[in-house]
Amino acid sequence: MSACCVPVAQSPTHSVMPLSTASPLSRNRPSTAARVLLLQIRDAADPMRSQEVRCFQEALGLASGQLTTFDLTGRTVLKQDRLKHVRFVVIGGSGNYSVAEGGPWWNTAAESLQRLADSDVPVFASCWGFQAIARVLGGEVRTDLSRAEVGTISVRLTDAARQDPVFSALPDSFPVQAGHQDVVHRLPDAAVRLAGSELVRNQAMKITDRPIYGTQFHPELTRSALIERIRAYPQYIERIAGIPFDEFVTRCRDTPESASLLQRFAARYAS
Q: Would you list the domain boundaries of the chain?
A: 24-269
In this prediction, residue 163 carries a pLDDT of 97
Residue 16 CB: number of other CB atoms within 10 A? 19
Assess whether 140 carries a catalytic annotation.
no
**Which residues 6+ apart lie within 8 Å of 236 measured at CB?**
1, 6, 7, 150, 230
Backbone angles phi, psi at 52, to 5 degrees: -65, -40
CATH number of 24-269: 3.40.50.880
Angle at 54 between CA 49 and CA 58, to 5 degrees: 150
**What integer is the mean pLDDT of 223-251?**
87
Q: Indicate if 127 belongs to the active site.
A: yes
Helices 48-60, 256-269: inter-axial angle, 10-degree rounding: 70
Catalytic residue among 4, 55, 180, 220: 220
Residue whose C-alpha is closest to residue 161's, from 193, 124, 113: 193
Coil, helix or strand for 114? helix
Average of per-residue pLDDT across 183-193 = 98
Find the helix or strand (DSSP H, E) in which 61 lies: none
Of 127, 180, 185, 252, which residue is the catalytic one? 127
Q: Could you read off the pLDDT of 99-140 as tens digits, one per residue?
A: 999 999 999 999 999 999 999 999 999 999 999 999 999 999
Q: Does residue 1 surpass a pLDDT of 60? A: no
